[in-house]
């Protein structure tokens, strides 16, 4: 069996939805499990309407719900399904969802209390609506699709907004709910991004989490392949939004792709490769609009290519904290105390550099920042710099080849660089800059390592 995950743009309208059905139908012999995101923009719209309601602007909330969510799905139903009975049934089911959301928004406008738990529940409607439509559309194309609720498959902890799957329980549930359907020749269609905790309360795995759902389902069911279908030809040499002529990378090792995903390449959720790596399952990235383009294959080991650097990623919204203290000198418990504070605030640290009397750490921006800084101040003077970005240059051979760092920093000689780290695995070179320099830095490094042919 294989897992096929389609992102929001791959099902954004009736045409895209039909295209997705065609791609799935072409792979039915391989026993696919289909994992879907919400239609593009819907999760954002759900968050906006929940926030508007909680801020007391109920009319605006209901307007977003109607215009940007409900009507959008009705349009897709009408554009994708030809059978009128089926259309009717779906519109009825969608309007039941719409009613629930309408009441929820009304409640939020009264209580004003948008907890992470409620927000997860509101967001879950995006994937529940897209899969409802997709399963029917596949059935109409004679694929034996069965809508399967992710909340009966993926059990998570209760960290609303960024829940962690419990792999043991998730394995048992997937074996119970998904496996028999595959054996019966059916094609399960499951929501990405959402799961449920032990009490059955809806959780989400973090923004962009459908990739992670696909990898978890693939790993627990021992899939032969995990396919991530998106809107670009694969993992490219840089984000095409910054470097329009970025090129497709044919193959990447698990380690290379993990570094890229972790340091900002949005095409893969940062946790996606962990379950796939553990079970040695190849991950393919394909363009749903251009399946013939070839894609990127991510596997345990890859053969050397002519290019040492494979790709350049960046992550905005980074904060650097500099903690200095004379007590750090010769005090072997200092680092532990500092890391305990990050642990207490459930904040993960990306980069660390130290000097004799200070340590600099980079973290993603977090609402816990003020509290975190206050607790760190118990151990030394804390300086914080917000509005930073991490840039990461990745390639297995960086470890062996001399002169890569010199080329990077020579190229960027007039840009202030704040923290430099050659990752522990030595397959990346990572540093921090002011966010405003991101486009120039990424473009310059791309020119350096992937010069345009003929130039
Ligand atoms: P989906 O909705 O299919 O999950 P995403 O928007 O989450 O798609 O991810 C695809 C986007 O990732 C691309 O449109 C591209 O802008 C961005 N991206 C960032 N870095 C890279 C990269 N190195 N290679 C390919 N895409 C990248
Ligand atoms: N729909 C969710 C989001 O927008 C999950 C995903 O697309 O992977 O974050
Ligand atoms: Mg995504």
* Per-residue model confidence as pLDDT tens for the chain (455 residues): 999 999 999 999 999 999 999 999 999 999 999 999 999 999 999 999 999 999 999 999 999 999 999 999 999 999 999 999 999 999 999 999 999 999 999 999 999 999 999 999 999 999 999 999 999 999 999 999 999 999 999 999 999 999 999 999 999 999 999 999 999 999 999 999 999 999 999 999 999 999 999 999 999 999 999 999 999 999 999 999 999 999 999 999 999 999 999 999 999 999 999 999 999 999 999 999 999 999 999 999 998 887 889 999 999 999 999 999 877 766 778 888 999 999 999 899 999 998 878 899 999 988 889 999 999 999 999 999 999 999 999 998 888 888 899 999 999 999 999 999 887 778 999 999 999 999 999 999 999 999 987 54
5: CB partners within 8 A, 6+ apart? 34, 35, 36, 37, 192, 210, 211, 213, 214, 226, 227, 228, 229
Q: Which atom of ligand 1 is nearest to the CA of 260?
A: 23
Nearest ligand, CA of residue 130?
A: 2
Give 27-87 as a DSSP string. Answer: TGGG-EEEEE-PSTTHHHHHHHHHHHHHTT-HHHHHHHIIIIIIHHHHHHHHHH---HHHH
Q: Ligand 2 in contact with 270 (CB < 6 A)?
A: no
- What residues does ligand 1 touch, defined as CB less than 6 Å away? 7-10, 37, 208, 230-232, 235-236, 238-241, 265-267, 311, 313
CA distance 147 to 252: 33
* CATH 3.30.2130.10 residue ranges for the chain: 311-449
Fold of 2-231: Carbamate kinase (3.40.1160)
Q: How many distinct helices (H) and strands (E) make up the chain?
A: 15, 16
In Å, how far from its chain's centre is CA 431? 22
**3-state DSSP call for residue 287?**
strand
Question: Would strands 2-6 and 225-230 be described as parallel, antiparallel, or unpaired?
Answer: parallel
Cα 393 to averaged position of ligand 2 atoms, centre (Å): 26
Q: Ligand 2 in contact with 126 (CB < 6 A)?
A: yes
| CA nearest neighbour of 269 among 257, 281, 278 | 257
Record the tokens describing residue 366, joined without a space: 């977090």
CATH class of 311-449: alpha beta
Nearest ligand, CA of residue 162?
A: 2
Q: Give the distance between the most distant pair of CA atoms in the chain.
A: 76
CA distances from 347 to 117, 271, 303, 440 (A): 19, 15, 36, 29
Report the length, in residues, of the chain: 455
Mutate which of 193, 267, 297, 443 for ligand 1 pocket (most atoms within 8 A of beta carbon): 267
């Amino acid at each position: 069996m294989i897992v096929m995950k389609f992102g929001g743009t791959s099902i954004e309208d009736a045409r895209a939805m039909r295209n997705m059905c065609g791609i799935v139908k072409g792979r039915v012999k391989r026993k696919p499990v289909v994992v879907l995101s919400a239609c593009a923009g819907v999760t954002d719209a759900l968050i906006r309407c929940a926030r508007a309601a909680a801020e007391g602007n109920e009319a605006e909330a209901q307007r977003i719900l109607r215009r940007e969510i409900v009507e959008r799905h009705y349009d897709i139903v009408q554009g994708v399904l030809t059978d009128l009975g089926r259309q009717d049934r779906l519109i009825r089911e969608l309007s039941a969802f719409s009613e629930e959301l309408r009441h929820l928004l009304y409640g939020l406008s009264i209580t004003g209390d948008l907890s992470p738990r409620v927000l997860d529940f509101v967001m879950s409607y995006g994937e529940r609506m897209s899969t409802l439509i997709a399963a029917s559309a596949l059935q109409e194309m004679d694929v034996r699709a069965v809508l399967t609720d992710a909340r009966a498959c993926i059990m998570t902890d209760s960290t609303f907004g960024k829940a962690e799957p419990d792999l043991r329980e998730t394995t048992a549930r997937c074996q119970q709910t998904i496996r028999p359907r595959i054996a019966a020749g059916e094609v399960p269609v499951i929501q990405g991004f959402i799961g449920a905790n032990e009490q059955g309360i809806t959780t989400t795995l973090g923004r962009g989490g459908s990739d992670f759902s696909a990898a978890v389902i693939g790993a627990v069911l021992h899939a032969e392949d995990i396919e991530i279908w998106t809107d670009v030809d694969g993992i490219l040499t840089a984000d095409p939004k910054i470097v329009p002529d970025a090129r497709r990378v044919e193959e990447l090792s698990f380690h290379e792709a993990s570094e890229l995903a972790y340091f900002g390449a949005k095409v893969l959720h940062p946790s996606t490769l962990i379950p796939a790596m553990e079970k040695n399952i190849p991950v393919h990235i394909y363009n749903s609009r251009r399946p013939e383009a070839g894609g990127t294959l991510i596997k345990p080991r890859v053969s050397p290519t002519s290019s040492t650097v494979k790709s350049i990623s960046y992550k905005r919204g980074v904060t650097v904290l500099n903690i200095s203290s004379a007590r750090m000198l010769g005090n072997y418990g200092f680092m532990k105390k500092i890391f305990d504070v990050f642990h207490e605030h459930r904040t993960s640290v990306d980069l660390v550099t130290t000097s004799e009397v200070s340590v600099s750490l980079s973290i993603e921006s977090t609402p816990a920042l003020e509290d975190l800084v206050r607790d760190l101040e118990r151990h030394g003077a804390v300086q914080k710099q917000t509005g930073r970005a991490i840039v990461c240059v990745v390639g297995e051979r960086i470890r062996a080849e001399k002169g890569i760092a010199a080329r990077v920093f020579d190229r960027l000689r007039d840009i202030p660089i704040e923290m430099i780290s050659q990752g522990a695995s030595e397959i990346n070179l990572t540093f921090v800059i002011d966010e405003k320099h991101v486009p120039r830095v990424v473009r310059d490094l791309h020119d350096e390592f992937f010069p345009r042919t003929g130039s």
